[in-house]
Structure 1
Amino acid sequence: MPSRIRELRRNRGLTLDQVSKQTGLSVAMLSQVERGQSDPSLESLRRLAEALQVPLFDLFRGEVAEPVAVIRHDERRLVSSPHLHVTYSQVSRSGGKVEVLEGTLDPGAASSELPRTHISEECVLVLEGSLIAEIDGTEYALGAGDSCHFDSTLPHRFLNPHHDKARFIISVTPPSN
């Protein structure tokens, strides 16, 4: 990932200072991330992906996209936010036209501090537990087996106000920044 971030930044003709201003991350922190000396948080990765105009998991992508990709459960790429108590694992390959993630959301947690927007469509399917899909200020209660499809340009996030962990699948097309 570190060399991929540096590569994307350089390919876009951006300096560390410019990326710092776009993301709110310090130049020192960005330099450490690019050299593999620091692991950025989920929120920092989201900011970097947005500044570099790529889907989040493209920060981890290798050079060549295979025509067929088998992603083994124990080899999935993971991003998590200990602060928010959310984890995502990449079920689909990077660089495709659809992004599929498996998420877990701890009791009392949210997928982001504030609702987020991006230019995509999204579908969430609850596998275990239950969660609230907060979309454009309206809350939609979803239990195991329920799904919700929406326009991701609407501010949205997922909440778990319940006592059990929620496990869900999210499909996003095109993959979000």
Structure 2
Amino acid sequence: MQTPQGGFDVGTRLRQLRNARGLSQRELAKRAGVTNSTISLVEQNSVSPSVSSLKKILDALPVSISAFFAGEDTSQPRPFYRADELTEIGDGHLSWRLVAARQPGRSMSIIHERYPPGSDSGEEMFEHEGEEGGVVVAGEIEITVSEEVAVLGEGDAYYFDSRLPHRFRNIGEAECVIVSASTPPTFSDGGQERHHV
């Protein structure tokens, strides 16, 4: 499911899921705590929602981020993916490209993350079930986990319990690239929990 520009068609996928559950735009907006116009604009692909905004909307359905981007694809699992086959789940500013998004029964998420200088995962600290880890491939990133803060550079790594509040910020002058993994592969089970990607 792609837009004419070749990206994932977020609007059409959201409309399909909303209609399949018999919800109006107004009802979905109310459940998600967003405005009616937000749902309308997303469904028209007039705006690219942030990951956290999309997460709020999907929690109201409820549908995980992984299931949302997996779509209805029932293709057989395969071992290799080219760079242009990774599914973009970022917000247009931050780039998070998910490996094997359409593979049925995935038990982890592997994400190629790009943080432009000055970007961050948001003012709000994230908390969700599971564990996550990653390796900084280029640049540097400031990571806060609970009360601990560290600046990691190329080759440095992190691994923590995702139930601890956490936040990612690129405080450097160059793009930061991270390859991360998390388990389970969903952002949440329908609650208010969120992942930084």
> Normalising by structure 1, what TM-score?
0.82
Aligned partners of 1:105 and 1:136: how far apart in 2?
Answer: 21
* Cross-structure match for 1:158: 168
Contact 2:141 2:169 (C-alpha < 8 Å) held by counterparts: yes
Q: Gaps (5+ residues) in structure 1?
A: none
Per-residue deviation, 1:45 = 1.5
1:160-175 alignment, distance < 5 Å: 160-175=170-185
- Give the number of equivalent residue pairs: 175
C-alpha distance 75-55 of structure 1, shift in aligned 2 (>3 A):
same
C-alpha distance 15-65 of structure 1, shift in aligned 2 (>3 A):
farther
Contact 2:87 2:101 (C-alpha < 8 Å) held by counterparts: no
Contact 2:108 2:183 (C-alpha < 8 Å) held by counterparts: yes
Per-residue deviation, 1:54 = 3.3
Which residue identity lines up with residue 49 of structure 1 in the other structure? Answer: L
From 99, 102, 108, the equivalent of 2:109 is 99
Contact 2:49 2:91 (C-alpha < 8 Å) held by counterparts: no
Aligned partners of 1:120 and 1:12: how far apart in 2?
Answer: 28
* Cross-structure match for 2:3: none
For residues 29-70 of structure 1, give each alpha carbon's deviation from its aligned partner in whole angstroms, at most 9, with x where no partner exists. 313433555433333222223333433243222311522253
Per-residue deviation, 1:102 = 0.7
Aligned partners of 1:138 and 1:14: how far apart in 2?
Answer: 42
Contact 1:4 1:61 (C-alpha < 8 Å) held by counterparts: no
Aligned partners of 1:146 and 1:54: how far apart in 2?
Answer: 33
Q: Gaps (5+ residues) in structure 2?
A: 1-9, 189-197
* Cross-structure match for 1:108: 118
From 58, 67, 70, the equivalent of 1:58 is 67
1:60-139 alignment, distance < 5 Å: 60-63=69-72, 64-68=74-78, 70-82=80-92, 85-94=93-102, 95=104, 96-139=106-149
* Cross-structure match for 2:150: 140
Which residue identity lines up with residue 86 of structure 1 in the other structure? Answer: L
| Identity level (%) | 30
C-alpha distance 105-114 of structure 1, shift in aligned 2 (>3 A):
same
Contact 1:69 1:93 (C-alpha < 8 Å) held by counterparts: no
Residue 43 (str. 1) matches residue 55 (str. 2): no
Which residue identity lines up with residue 111 of structure 1 in the other structure? Answer: S
Contact 2:143 2:150 (C-alpha < 8 Å) held by counterparts: yes
Residue 29 (str. 1) matches residue 38 (str. 2): yes
> Normalising by structure 2, what TM-score?
0.75
C-alpha distance 36-105 of structure 1, shift in aligned 2 (>3 A):
closer
C-alpha distance 170-39 of structure 1, shift in aligned 2 (>3 A):
same
Aligned partners of 2:113 and 2:51: how far apart in 1?
Answer: 13
* Cross-structure match for 2:18: 9
Larger fraction in strand: 1
| CA RMSD of superposed structures (Å) | 2.4
